[in-house]
């Protein structure tokens, strides 16, 4: 599951607000825990559609990286 996080800041005197940062957090279930079926969302705005598309591509890239890291760890010797 990917969750978008946006942090805003506000000047208490002027009440002016601005975006401080934006991030995506990815959550994964532990392998030993039963899989949970989540309700599929339907992106509505163009920004949501773009983020939804990017999330799917990011997931594929992560899977490739996990396999690469496992291969590197399996084929290297750790020295003390």
Where are the domains positioned within the chain? 2-74
Band of residue 34 on the pLDDT scale cut at 50, 70, 90: confident
Q: How many CA atoms lie within 13 A of 18 on its CB side?
A: 4
On whether the pTM is more than 0.85, the answer is no
Instruction: Say if residue 79's pLDDT is above 60.
Output: no
pLDDT > 90? residue 9 = yes
Q: Can you tell me the mean pLDDT for 44-72?
A: 83
Q: Rounded CA gap, 4 and 6, in Å?
A: 7
């Amino acid at each position: 599951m990917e969750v978008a996080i946006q942090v805003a800041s506000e000047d208490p005197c002027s009440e002016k607000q601005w975006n401080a940062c934006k991030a995506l957090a990815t959550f994964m279930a532990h392998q030993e825990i039963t899989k949970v079926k989540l309700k599929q969302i339907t992106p509505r705005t163009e920004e949501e559609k773009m983020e939804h598309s990017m999330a799917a591509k990011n997931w594929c890239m992560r899977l490739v990286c996990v396999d690469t890291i496992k291969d590197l760890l399996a084929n290297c010797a750790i020295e003390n």
